[in-house]
Amino acid sequence: MAHMSRRSFIAFSGALAASVGLPRSMVGSALAAPLAPADVPTTLRETIRQSTTGNRAYRTLLTAPGEPFIVREDLVINRPSPGRAARRRSLAYLGHTSDIHIQDTQSPARLEPVMEFSPTLMPGICRPQESMSLFVQAQMVQAFNDAASSPVTGAPMAAVVNTGDSSDQISNLETRWYIKVMDGVPVMADSGTAGVYEGVEVWPEATYAYHPDDPSGDMWGEYGFPEIPGLMEAIVNTEVTSPGMPAPWFTVFGNHDVLLNGFVGQDDSLRTLAIGHTKYWSFPSWVTDQFTGMATDPSPLQRGLDYLRQQFGVVGGFKRVGSDPERRLLQGQDFMSAHFENTGGGPGPVGHGFTQSNLDENTTFWTTDIGPNLRLFGLDTCNRLTGADGAVPKNQFDWLEAGLQECVAQDKLAIVLSHHNSLTLENTAESPFHPGEPLIHADEFIAMLVKYPNMIAWLNGHTHTNTIKAHPNADNTGGFWEITTASCIDYPQQQQVVDICDNRDGTMSIFAIVLDHASPAQWTNGDFSQVGIASLSRELASNDWTATPFALMGSDLDRNVELILPAPFDLEKISDADLDKEILKRKAVVLKNTKGAGA
């Protein structure tokens, strides 16, 4: 490195090699290579678009030219220096994932029968690609590995942040599947009866679901969805593997991690249904079973009758499936606790943002430093009572403001992470655990954030749409950028990487770059490999007529962008020598986590 003597470099790289357990020669060679923009697969290189157009026509996908950066100067008065590219240095390069929505589509607790009542009342209740979510997540983890070095500066990935909705149905099994894929531990996308798919996708009575074996009798066949015999059998019999994230990863709660389907609470009836062997396909039968007697008679006798009805099917419109205790619904601290379990792999850290203090004090928000110059604040904006949208409880609001004041005093950059974004911080349902606690909504929250110049970015998800908004401060001399990423479940099934750079001219650039998961744009008929199933999932998602898939891509201004903002303090206080050491540490960690592939 330019700011370290040869002797110091040899000693430092040797110590790093020992710390990550890799050969000194491999680590030394990788660390000695100068940083340069990495030619890695992102949408800067190529994009994915539909191959044809037409009403009620099924469309395949193909590759298209990449999208170059668009420079956004919304938060600066003076134009940035045109020579900044030659001077800039990366302060932190991050991965950002959100709305993974891992799904156990064989679970009896799913709300799929609502689709029979109305295919558009609750979009996303029975998507044609939902059973393939694990395959998509695994290939997205591969994409983060492929992009472990920045395409802008060559900097190694320092951390990956996950902004919620990791599971879909507050399921124990879904939560543990997602954690294992993030950690590089193999899983099977199967539950209940081993190796046999038991769900609405193979039951002809459920005409609202896509039936790959024969879609001619369902509503998806009317839109040209293809016949793909053997797909569901392949899904439950294919081991899903991933390399694990290339850098330490951190997470926050999403509404699907605390409420069933992201908007409704759970009761004894749902908890019993989840682990039992009765799965409904009929909406009238499901409604009758779930609500008969429960609202009017919560007595032990009535609950016993409800249990017998579920287990032995007094009403019709159901099928018997293999029961599975691992499908239990999460309660209390279960979601946080799952992140402390040793999966046997992964880059860490223990808790993935959550700490022992969170468990001891029953708090759900956290902070951590990424090196000496950047602090992350992980919020919990989810409502435990009802509703998909969120708010910021007053205790978190006050805690965050105190933390931002500390960042200003310590010359640290700050990034806020939450699931909900500025369009969805509007839930007014009062917490049953903290009655009377004020809830802070978007306008008040943003007004507080813009007071602190060190607050440079707010990363979030929830709407499944690539969206980037500038939030100027009161005198229009700065502010922060809000960066919302798309999801892994809905088209375009994209996530992003973010490179935070010092331009050394009194400005900063935040580069947001969109990633497609590592699978071909065009699915090859009959390809039931892990990569092939992920590719097919994207194609099916792009044809989901119950949603608006192409609107979720966002505009050109929401994808590959360079976001300019004033430097909040003199960034020359961050010495090149100290930054070089931090870069070397991050390189070594990436090498360890990619088993040398990141060299």
pLDDT exceeds cutoff 60 at 454: yes
How far is Cα 21 from Cα 24, in angstroms, rounded to an integer? 9
296-355 per-position pLDDT tens digit: 455 554 555 455 555 555 557 999 999 999 999 999 999 999 999 999 999 999 999 999
Q: In 421-474, which ranges are E strands?
A: 439-440, 455-460, 467-472
**Amino acid at position 363, single letter:** T
Mean pLDDT of 283-306: 61
Element at 6 (helix H, strand E): helix 6-20
Angle formed by the axes of helices 576-593 and 6-20, nearest 10°: 30
Q: Given the structure tokens 């990449």, which residue do they identify?
A: 66
Q: How confident is the model at residue 28 (pLDDT cuts 50, 70, 90)?
A: confident
Residue with tokens 């193909």: 62
Give the tokens for residue 558: 């929401």
Q: How far apart are CA 591 and CA 599, in angstroms?
A: 6
Pairing of strands 455-460, 479-484: parallel
Give the Å distances, CA to CA, from 416 to 105, 123, 380, 498. 33, 29, 11, 14
C-beta neighbour count of 329 within 10 angstroms: 20
- Predicted confidence band of residue 6 (pLDDT cuts 50, 70, 90): confident
Instruction: State residue 347's pLDDT score.
Output: 95
Q: Which residues pair with 307 in a beta bridge?
A: none
**Residues in Cβ contact with 8 at an 8 Å cutoff, skipping those fewer than 6 apart:** none
Amino acid at 406: E
In the beta sheet, which residues pair with residue 188? 239
pLDDT for residue 306: 57
- Per DSSP bridges, beta strands 494-502 and 89-97 are antiparallel
- Look at residue 598 and tell me whether its pLDDT is greater than 70: no
Mind listing the pLDDT tens digit for each residue in 398-452? Answer: 999 999 999 999 999 999 999 999 999 999 998 776 788 899 999 999 999 999 9
Domains along the sequence of the chain with CATH: 46-568 (3.60.21.10)
Quote the tokens at residue 313. Answer: 């099917």
Question: In the numeric block, which tokens belong to residue 177?
Answer: 């599947």
Contacts of 361 (CB under 8 A, 6+ apart): none
Give which of 94, 217, 239 is closest to 586, Cα–Cα.
94
- For the chain, how many residues are written? 599
* Residue 448 C-beta-side C-alpha neighbours within 13 Å: 20
Axis-axis angle for helices 133-146, 172-183 (nearest 10): 20
Q: For the residues of 37-94, what is the DSSP string, one character each?
A: -----STTTEEEEES---TT----EEEEE----EEE-TT-SSPPPTTHHHH-EEEEEE
| 186-209 pLDDT per residue, tens | 999 999 999 999 999 999 999 999
**Which range is least confidently modeled, 83-87, 106-110, 306-310, 391-395?**
306-310
| Peptide bond preceding 453 in cis form (omega within 30 of 0) | no
Quick one: pLDDT band at residue 379, thresholds 50, 70, 90? very high
What whole-number distance in Å separates Cα of residue 194 and Cα of residue 198? 10
First to last CA, the chain: 16
The 3-state DSSP class for residue 24 equals helix
Residue 293 pLDDT more than 50?
no
**CA distances for 171 relative to 22, 256, 295, 364, 383, angstroms:** 37, 9, 24, 18, 17
* Angle at the Cα of 570 from the Cα atoms of 565 and 572, rounded to 5 degrees: 110
| pLDDT of 295 over the 80 cut | no
- How large a percentage of the chain has pLDDT more than 90? 79
CA-wise closest residue to 231 among 197, 269, 266? 197
Q: How many Cα atoms within 13 Å fall on the side-chain side of residue 471? A: 26
Summarize the confidence of residues 538-550 as an average pLDDT.
94
Q: Name the token pair of 583.
A: 């870069």
Look up residue 488 and give its amino acid.
C
Average pLDDT over the chain reads 92
Question: Helix/strand/coil (H, E, C) string of 536-560?
Answer: HHHHHHHCCCCCCHHHHHCCHHHCC
Amino acid symbol at 62: L
- Over residues 378-383, the mean pLDDT reads 97
Coil vs helix vs strand at 100:
coil
CA-based R_g, the chain, Å = 24
How high is the pLDDT of residue 294? 46
Count the neighbouring beta carbons within 10 Å of the beta carbon of residue 241. 15
Place of tokens 């920045």: 150
